[in-house]
Amino acid sequence: MEKDFGGFKGILIIGLGLIGGSLALGLKKEGYKGKIYGYDLNENRVKTALELKAVDEGFNSLENIPWESVDLVVLSTPVKTFLDIAKTIKPFLNQDTVVSDVGSVKGDLVLKIHEVLKPHTFVGVHPIAGTEKEGIENAKPDLFKNARLILTPIGEDTEKVEKVEKLWKDLGSKTEVMDPHLHDFVFASVSHLPHAIAFSLVDSLITLSKESGIDLFKYPGGGFRDFTRIAASSPTIWKDIFLENKENLIHTLDTFLQSVQKLKDAIEKEDENKIIEILSESREKRLSID
C-alpha cells in the first residue's frame, strides 16, 4: 500500500522529547510530505527540533500555531498533562482535526480526554518503544520501526482511527487494537511492574551498601546490569505513569510480593521441590517469549 501516513496534511506534535522528536524524525525519514509543527513550553527544545530538522515550524506559544493547517495533533508530553492540554487546545481545533497521543497509560484517562474533546475524535496510541534515555537529543527516526503499537480507540469513528493506524504502519510499527482498560492491566503487568521492581532493587542495594559499608555498585556482574537498565528511566515520567495507573500497578505489585514471599518461604524451609517447581515454571514461560 502507498505510504500516505493516513492522509494528514499538517501534524502538530505537542511535547518535543524523545518520543515526540522520534515521531517527527521518523515522518521526515519515511517521506511524509505534509507539514510538521512542533510545540513545546521549553524554548530550547523547540530550537533543537528546528536544528535537527525534525519539525518544519516550531512554537512555544499555542496562539501562534497555524491551526487551520493542522488536521492531526499528537500529545507527547507526560500523561498527567494530557487532560489540561486537551481542554486548552479544544477551542483551536478544526472540525475534522483528530487528536491522538503516545502515552503509556490509557484506561479512564482515554475516556476523560474523549469526553473533553468531543465532538472531535481522540485516538489513544501507545508505541511500545523508547529507551531509558530522555530528550529530543536522543530521538531516533527508527524508534518505531518494527515496534509494537497499541491503539485504544473508543466510539464509532473508525475512519479516523484507520487514518491514525495507517500513519504508524507507514512508520513501520506493528499495530494492534486493544480496550483501554485492558491495555492498562497488561502494561501494569509487563512494563510498569518491572520498572517499579528495578527502581526498588537499586533502592535496596543502596540500603545494603549503607548498612554494610561496601559499595555494592562496584560489582555489577551476574545479570545486574541488564536487570536494572530500566531503573535509569526518567523519574518524572515514571512517577506519573505509576500514579496514573495506580490501581492496576498496586494489584500487580501485591501479586508480585506474594510470589517473592512464596519463593522466600520455600528457601527458608529448604523445600527443594517447591523451589525447583517455581524456578522451572518461570524458566519455561520466559523461554517461550524468545
Residue range at the interface with a second copy (CB under 8 A); choices 18-26, 52-60, 136-144, 184-192: 184-192
189-248 positions binding a second copy, by CB under 8 A: 189-191, 193-208, 211-212, 214, 216-217, 219-236, 238-239, 242-243, 246
Residue range at the interface with a second copy (CB under 8 A); choices 10-18, 57-65, 93-101, 282-290: 282-290
Least Å distance between CB 112 and a second copy? 17
| Grid coordinates belonging to 235 | 523519574
User: What CA–CA distance (Å, rounded) separates 284 from 290?
Assistant: 11
65-84 positions binding a second copy, by CB under 8 A: none
- Interaction between residue 177 and a second copy (CB under 8 A): no
127 backbone dihedrals φ, ψ, rounded to 5°: -75, 130
Strand partners, 57: 37
Q: Which is nearer to a second copy, 132 or 157 (CB)?
A: 132
Residue range at the interface with a second copy (CB under 8 A); choices 13-21, 23-31, 33-41, 183-191: 183-191
Least Å distance between CB 245 and a second copy? 10
**Packing angle, helices 235-244 and 246-268, rounded to 10:** 100
**Cis omega (within 30 of 0) on the bond before 78?**
no
User: What CA–CA distance (Å, rounded) separates 29 from 120?
Assistant: 29
SS (H, E, C) 185-228: HHHHHHHHHHHHHHHHHHHHHHHHHHHHCCCHHHCCCCCHHHHH
User: What CA–CA distance (Å, rounded) separates 129 from 244?
Assistant: 19
Residue 156, Cα to own-chain centre: how many angstroms? 25
Q: Which is nearer to a second copy, 118 or 264 (CB)?
A: 264
Strand partners, 148: 174
242-281 positions binding a second copy, by CB under 8 A: 242-243, 246, 249-250, 252-253, 255-264, 267-268, 270, 272, 275-276, 278-281
| Grid coordinates belonging to 72 | 492531526
Q: Which is nearer to a second copy, 2 or 290 (CB)?
A: 290
Least Å distance between CB 184 and a second copy? 12
The long-range contacts involving 41-47, CB below 8 angstroms and separated by at least 24 positions, are 42/16, 45/16, 45/17, 45/135, 45/136, 46/16
The contact mask relative to a second copy for 123-142 (x = CB under 8 A, - = no) is: -----xx-------------
Q: Which is nearer to a second copy, 59 or 242 (CB)?
A: 242
Least Å distance between CB 2 and a second copy? 28
| Grid coordinates belonging to 200 | 526498588
Contact of 122 with 102, CB cutoff 8 Å: no
Residues that contact a second copy, how many (by CB under 8 A):
88
Residue type, 100: S
Q: Which is nearer to a second copy, 49 or 249 (CB)?
A: 249
Half-sphere exposure of 89 (CA within 13 A, CB side): 35
Least Å distance between CB 24 and a second copy? 22
Q: Which is nearer to a second copy, 83 or 201 (CB)?
A: 201
8-67 positions binding a second copy, by CB under 8 A: none
Q: Which is nearer to a second copy, 158 or 261 (CB)?
A: 261
